[in-house]
């Protein structure tokens, strides 16, 4: 029943990456709690957390100075692999140059890479200074960061987020982009940066970038996952040009982890319901939302987290990623201990109408045991439901046709 149960590792408000010992301890905690995937940050505030040839070529620096002499990504992989934790490097900053600091060393060295708003001012949103995401030179630089990691490390995939592919919708008024637009339409771009065709035109450029990234990563290794963690749609489209429906329709992403960050259970359920309404059932197996468990003084309660996860499963969503690791360690690892006590790794809900590889796996296992499931095509139809009901009767369970935690426990016990 493969699904992503993941956690993001950050440099902000966390010391998990400050030493190899901390990394080893963290990987043991994650594996013991029931997670199967870790997402360590590797691109943050203009620096990589691994020795980068692309960064050194362009800026004369190969890694975040605080980590000089180390390779954080390699250390995470070394600690995670024996515990069967998959590693997907997280390019947190994407097309963003820096937090405040006038764009940092990126814009200082490459001022021509700076994004521009309609007043020709530096492109800044929520104190983040942005590169020009539509510039081919900027795109090639960031693409090379992804590709060197894909080539040089034993990883399960790569991940962009709410800053890749993305750009504040206030941007796109640099001279290069204006010339490109003028050549196509014979006029300057609209000054209304929320003009729908203008939003879509810029989003299409970013869609094409993601398509290229997807192709190039798959050339290196077709088994590598291309994962994106965008802002929730349609907010992410209107504010950051993140056209998630097109990514899925063009099949240029393998997994989507929308950042459904909120501090209330009802609000989270509303976000999830919106996701389910927007995406076809066949695509829900690609969705594993981001859940906020810690931010500033906020710490999610165990019950709120558990009900959020249960709502995911009952909605047809098979996994999630938690932001961020320190939330599991807080209060003497209260959250981690709670998830372990709940047997988090085996929380499964598959039911009529679900589609995905996990359904296909269930069908095959039931078929191998002699149950008539119909086609093993990953579509939980009426015959699969009948097979599940018979399996439940045979194992003295309520025959409701929903393959939940109790049914899964019996499946494991019977070694189907």
Which tens digits make up the pLDDT trace of 393-407? 999 999 999 999 999
Q: Which of 411, 407, 354 is nearest to 380 (CA)?
A: 354
pLDDT given at position 2: 62
First to last CA, the chain: 12
pLDDT tens per residue, range 284-303: 889 999 999 999 999 999 99
Show Cβ contacts of residue 212 under 8 Å, excluding neighbours closer than 6 positions: 139, 143
Exposed / middle / buried, residue 266 (Cβ in 10 Å: 0-12, 13-18, 19+): exposed
For 376, the token pair is 């093993």
Given the candidates 1.10.730.10, 3.40.50.80, 1.10.101.10, 3.30.70.270, the CATH classification of the domain at 357-413 is: 1.10.101.10
Residue pLDDT, tens place only, 307-323: 999 999 999 899 999 99
How many angstroms separate the CA atoms of 107 and 131, rounded?
8
* pLDDT tens readout for residues 183-220: 999 999 999 999 999 999 999 999 999 999 999 999 99
pLDDT range class, residue 409, cuts 50, 70, 90: confident
- Per residue in 55-113, pLDDT tens? 999 999 999 999 999 999 999 999 999 999 999 999 999 999 999 989 999 999 999 99
The per-residue pLDDT for range 59-68, each reduced to its tens digit, is 999 999 999 9
Does residue 62 contact residue 33 with C-beta atoms inside 8 Å? Answer: no
Rounded to whole angstroms, how far apart are CA atoms 218 and 205? Answer: 20
pLDDT above 60 for 416? no
pLDDT of res. 173:
99
Q: What is the pLDDT of residues 320-350, one digit of tens each?
A: 999 999 999 999 999 999 999 999 998 989 9
pLDDT (0 to 100) of residue 82: 99
Strand partners, 41: 90
pLDDT score of 1 more than 70: no
Q: What percent of the chain has pLDDT over 90?
A: 93
**What is the three-state SS of 325-347?**
CHHHHHHHHHHHHHHHHCCHHHC
Average pLDDT, the chain: 96
Contacting residues for 7 by C-beta, under 8 A, at least 6 apart:
30, 35, 37, 38, 39, 321, 322, 324, 325, 328
| 281 confidence band (pLDDT: 50, 70, 90) | confident
pLDDT at 279: 85
Query: What pLDDT is recorded for position 113?
Result: 99
Is the pLDDT at 249 greater than 50? The verdict is yes
HSE-up (13 A, CA, CB side) for residue 222 = 0
DSSP at 128 = E
Q: What angle do CA 46, 50, 52 make, to 5 degrees?
A: 70
User: Where in the chain are the domains?
Assistant: 5-346, 357-413
Over residues 343-377, the pLDDT tens digits come to 999 898 999 999 988 899 999 999 999 999 999 99
Whole-prediction pTM: 0.94
Tens digits of residue pLDDT in 39-55? 999 999 999 999 999 99
Could you tell me the two tokens for 52?
């980068």
**Quick one: 223 exposed, middle or buried, by C-beta within 10 A (0-12, 13-18, 19+)?**
exposed
The confidence score (pLDDT) of residue 414 equals 67
pLDDT class for 252, splitting at 50, 70, 90? very high
Give 415's pLDDT tier (boundaries 50, 70, 90). low
User: CATH assignment of 5-346, given 3.20.20.80, 3.30.1490.20, 3.40.50.150, 1.10.760.10?
Assistant: 3.20.20.80
Q: Can you tell me the distance from the alpha carbon of 21 to that of 23, in angstroms, rounded to the nearest whole number?
A: 5
Same fold, 5-346 and 357-413: no
Is residue 237 within 8 A of residue 201, CB to CB? The reply is no
Whether the per-residue pLDDT at 23 is higher than 90: the answer is: yes
Residues 6+ apart with CB under 8 A from 174: 114, 115, 116, 132, 134, 135
Task: Tell me how far apart the alpha carbons of residues 241 and 206 are, in angstroms, rounded to a whole number.
Answer: 8
411 pLDDT higher than 90: no
C-alpha dist (Å) from residue 40 to 46, 106, 247, 372: 16, 22, 23, 43
135 conformational bin, left if phi > 0, alpha if psi -120 to 50, beta if neither: beta
3 pLDDT band, cuts 50/70/90, is confident
């Amino acid at each position: 029943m493969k699904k992503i149960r993941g956690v993001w590792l950050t440099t902000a408000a966390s010391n998990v990456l400050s030493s190899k010992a901390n990394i080893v301890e963290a990987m043991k905690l994650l594996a013991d709690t029931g997670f199967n995937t870790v997402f360590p940050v590797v691109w943050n505030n203009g620096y990589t957390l691994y020795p980068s040839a692309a960064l050194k070529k362009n800026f004369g620096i190969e890694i975040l100075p605080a980590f000089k002499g180390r390779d954080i990504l390699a250390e995470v992989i070394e600690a995670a692999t024996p515990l069967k934790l998959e590693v997907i490097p997280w390019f947190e900053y994407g097309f963003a140059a820096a937090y405040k600091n006038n764009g940092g060393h990126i814009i200082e060295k490459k001022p021509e890479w700076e994004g521009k708003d309609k007043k020709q001012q530096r492109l800044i949103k929520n104190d983040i200074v942005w590169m020009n995401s539509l510039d081919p030179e900027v795109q090639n630089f960031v693409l090379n960061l992804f590709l060197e990691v894909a080539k040089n490390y034993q990883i399960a995939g790569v991940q962009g987020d709410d800053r890749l592919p993305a750009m504040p919708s206030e941007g796109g008024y640099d001279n290069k982009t204006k010339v490109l637009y003028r050549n196509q339409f014979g006029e300057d771009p609209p000054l209304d940066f929320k003009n729908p065709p203008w939003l879509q035109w810029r989003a299409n450029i970013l869609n094409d970038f993601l398509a290229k990234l997807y192709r190039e990563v798959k050339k290196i290794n077709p088994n590598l996952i291309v994962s994106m963690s965008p802002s929730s749609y349609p907010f992410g489209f209107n504010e950051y040009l993140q056209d998630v429906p097109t990514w899925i329709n063009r099949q240029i992403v393998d997994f989507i982890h929308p950042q459904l960050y909120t501090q209330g259970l009802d609000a989270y359920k509303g976000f999830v319901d919106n996701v389910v309404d927007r995406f076809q059932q066949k695509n829900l197996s690609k969705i594993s939302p981001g859940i906020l468990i810690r931010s500033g003084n906020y710490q999610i309660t165990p019950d709120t987290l558990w009900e959020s996860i249960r709502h995911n499963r009952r909605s047809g969503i098979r996994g999630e990623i938690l932001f961020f690791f320190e939330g599991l360690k807080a209060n003497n690892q209260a959250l981690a201990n709670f998830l372990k006590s709940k047997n988090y790794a085996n929380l499964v809900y598959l039911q009529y109408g679900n589609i995905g590889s996990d359904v296909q796996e269930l069908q095959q296992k039931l078929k191998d045991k002699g149950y008539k499931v119909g086609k093993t095509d990953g579509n939980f139809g009426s015959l699969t439901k009948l097979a599940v009901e018979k399996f439940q009767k045979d194992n003295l369970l309520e025959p409701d046709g929903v393959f939940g935690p109790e049914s899964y426990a019996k499946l494991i016990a019977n070694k189907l």
